[in-house]
Amino acid sequence: MHTLYGYEGSGSAAIEAALQQAGVAFRVVPAASWDGKSAVDELARVNPLKQIPTLVLPDGTVLSESAAILMHLGLAHPASGLLPTDLVARSLALRGLVFIAANCYSAISVGDFPERWTTASDDASRAAVKAAARERLHAHWAVFADLHPQRPFLGGAAPGALDLLASVVSRWSGTRAHLAQARPDFSALLQRVDGHPAYAPIFVRHWPPKKA
């Protein structure tokens, strides 16, 4: 039994979908550093940084970092389709996973916590950091879209790990609205991933439709 520490509306949604696609047994433990009523103390015991998602394998091995977890699941379960079987295509998918982690996730972190990235304490300076991070984030997503053709999914005929991470991480900091204007074809791909029958129930649970 795998144990996934995560929280609704977080990056753990991608891992939950990947575990389902891999066909492995798992349980979800709700935990988040911002929710003291969650299993955050239990999470801290396996991951001192209290990061989600964190995945504990059946043998007790602890994995963190969304891209690394997705790579592990794809390599451990090659029949799942999470990673391409073709060597070149797989290498490109791995590049894409690292790209999102290094460039998009990091920019989101700066935008969410600007006080960590400037010694200035005034609101205007922190707002400037936040705005710059958001601009950089959107530029990184545009580059990603140009590097990865949609055919009809990033994983090829069927969605894979890269599609899952792109679908989840693009939901924050106004990225979806930006891509709808700047990269409409890529925006349409994200919508296809969102609505895929295998993933839609998970994504809707994590991000319920807004009431009118």
pLDDT in tens, 31-87: 999 999 999 999 999 999 999 999 999 999 999 999 999 999 999 999 999 999 999
**Cα dihedral angle (127, 101, 203, 112), rounded to 10 degrees?**
-20
The C-alpha atoms of residue 69 and residue 190 are separated, in whole angstroms, by: 21
Looking at this protein, which amino acid is placed at residue 85? Answer: T
Q: What is the pLDDT of residue 149?
A: 86
Both 106 and 178 in a single domain? yes
pLDDT at 199 over 80: yes
Q: Of 37, 65, 29, nearest to 49 (Cα)? A: 65
Please check whether residue 16 lies inside any domain of the structure.
yes
How much is the pTM?
0.94
**Cβ pair 167, 147 in contact under 8 A:** no
Both 41 and 106 in a single domain? no
Please check whether residue 178 lies inside any domain of the structure.
yes
pLDDT tens digits, one per residue of 168-193:
999 999 999 999 999 999 999 999 99
Q: What is the pLDDT of residue 190?
A: 97
> What pairs with residue 4 in β-bridges?
28, 55
Strand ordering across the sheet containing 54-56: 26-30, 2-6, 54-56, 62-64
What interhelical angle do 87-99 and 66-76 show, nearest 10? 160
The C-alpha atoms of residue 18 and residue 70 are separated, in whole angstroms, by: 7
- Residue 109's domain is classified under what CATH number? 1.20.1050
pLDDT at 16 over 80: yes
Q: How confident is the model at residue 211 (pLDDT cuts 50, 70, 90)?
A: low
**Region 109-138: what's the mean pLDDT?**
93
Q: Select from 32, 48, 80 the last residue of a domain.
A: 80
pLDDT tens digits, one per residue of 103-120:
999 999 999 899 999 999
Give the single-character DSSP code of 211.
Answer: P
The residue segments making up the domain with residue 62 are 2-80
Both 122 and 191 in a single domain? yes
Total domains, the chain: 2
